[in-house]
Amino acid sequence: MTFKKRLPGLVKGAFFGLRLHVIFHPISHLLIWLGNIARLSKWIRQQKNLLINDCYTSKFEYNKRFELYEVVVKDQHLDEAIDYLEFGVAKGASIEWWVNRNKNADTKFYGFDTFTGLPEDWGPFKKGDMSADNAIPDFNDARCEFYQGLFQQTLSGFLAEGRLSNRKKVIHFDADLYTSTWFVLATLYPYLNEGDILFFDEFNCPTHEYLAFDEFCRSFYVKYETLGAVNNFYQVAVKIK
Ligand SMILES: C[S@@+](CC[C@H](N)C(=O)[O-])C[C@H]1O[C@@H](n2cnc3c(N)ncnc32)[C@H](O)[C@@H]1O
């Protein structure tokens, strides 16, 4: 056996026998982060012919996400009847943009959130941050419905109700966390159709939304086309193929 083939076994033996985790475990998050930022950076450079792409920019402007929504709405005709699902609503800033932009009477808006904040720490943010203090947004629009609780507790029940139609789905991932994003992607997989559009609000976080999406695509052999990105791929739109 060549040294290259023996190497993984030797490294495993060194870890298990010599307890190398004592050295490496404290820096394991950094190593994973570096590995993923390298993969993400390469992926970003492979994305071509987007409708909008400001990479590289030194200026972060959160409101640019509305420019991204607008170009994708126009290009993909998202002002027609759609099912819009948003995971991570908080006080409703992004879903409100969609409710105002799409006035089609047959469109439905479904928002999911604990409304009591993040269920776990996320970078510098702590569990409970981003809380809407239990206040569910009210846009005085009968097309909107909100589901309060962890996605892990509300989404299956929602899907079992059979509320989703055959309309094009726009799914907005704004939960920030790897766990939340991966759970929703995997749970919605059987309901995804060609042409459905996914938006991500914190895509360029290498161990959260990016990682969840990358693992999802690899696990379910999902093909997609990237439509646009702003703020150095912080906000991204993709279309399922
Ligand atoms: C960044 S905020 C959403 C911001 C909002 N879309 C906006 O534009 O203002 C993230 C939200 O995700 C929610 N969230 C994250 N993981 C969740 C989970 N597993 N279940 C329910 N809500 C979750 C948090 O409660 C928080 O309100």
List the CATH number of the domain containing 71: 3.40.50.150
Q: What is the pLDDT of residue 1?
A: 85
Pseudo-torsion of CA 49, 53, 56, 59, nearest 10°? 170
Ligand 1 nearest atom to the CA of residue 115, by list position: 25
* Pair of tokens at residue 195: 């042409």
- For residue 156, being part of any structural domain is answered with yes
Angle of helix 28-46 relative to helix 209-220, nearest 10 degrees, comes to 70
pLDDT per residue, tens digit, the chain (241 aa), is 899 999 999 999 999 999 999 999 999 999 999 999 999 999 999 999 999 999 999 999 999 999 999 999 999 999 999 999 999 999 999 999 999 999 999 999 999 999 999 999 999 999 999 999 999 999 999 999 999 999 999 999 999 999 998 999 999 999 999 999 999 999 999 999 999 999 999 999 999 999 999 999 999 999 999 999 999 999 999 999 9
Nearest residue (CA) to ligand 1, atom 27? 90
- For residue 14, being part of any structural domain is answered with no
- For residue 57, being part of any structural domain is answered with yes
* Cα–Cα distance measured from residue 159 to residue 147, given in angstroms and rounded to the nearest whole number: 12
- For residue 48, being part of any structural domain is answered with yes
- For residue 63, being part of any structural domain is answered with yes
Chain centroid, CA 182 distance in Å: 8
Ligand 1 nearest atom to the CA of residue 172, by list position: 6
- For residue 25, being part of any structural domain is answered with no
* Cα–Cα distance measured from residue 241 to residue 239, given in angstroms and rounded to the nearest whole number: 6
How many angstroms does the Cα of residue 135 sit away from the middle of ligand 1?
A: 13
How many angstroms does the Cα of residue 110 sit away from the middle of ligand 1?
A: 13
Whether the CB-CB separation of 218 and 212 falls below 8 Å is answered with: no
Ligand 1 pocket mutation pick from 64, 110, 113 by most atoms within 8 angstroms of CB: 113
- For residue 67, being part of any structural domain is answered with yes
Which contiguous run of DSSP H or E holds residue 9? helix 3-18
For the chain, how many structural domains are there in total? 1
Other residues' Cβ atoms within 10 Å of the Cβ of residue 47? 17
Say which residues have a Cβ less than 8 Å from residue 190's Cβ, sequence separation at least 6: none
- pTM for the predicted model, two decimal places: 0.97
Q: 127-136: long-range contacts (C-beta < 8 A, 24 or more apart)? A: 130/90, 131/90, 132/89, 132/90, 132/91, 132/92, 135/91
Whether the CB-CB separation of 85 and 112 falls below 8 Å is answered with: yes
Please give the residue range of the domain that contains residue 203: 35-240
- For residue 169, being part of any structural domain is answered with yes
Ligand 1 pocket mutation pick from 64, 180, 182, 231 by most atoms within 8 angstroms of CB: 180
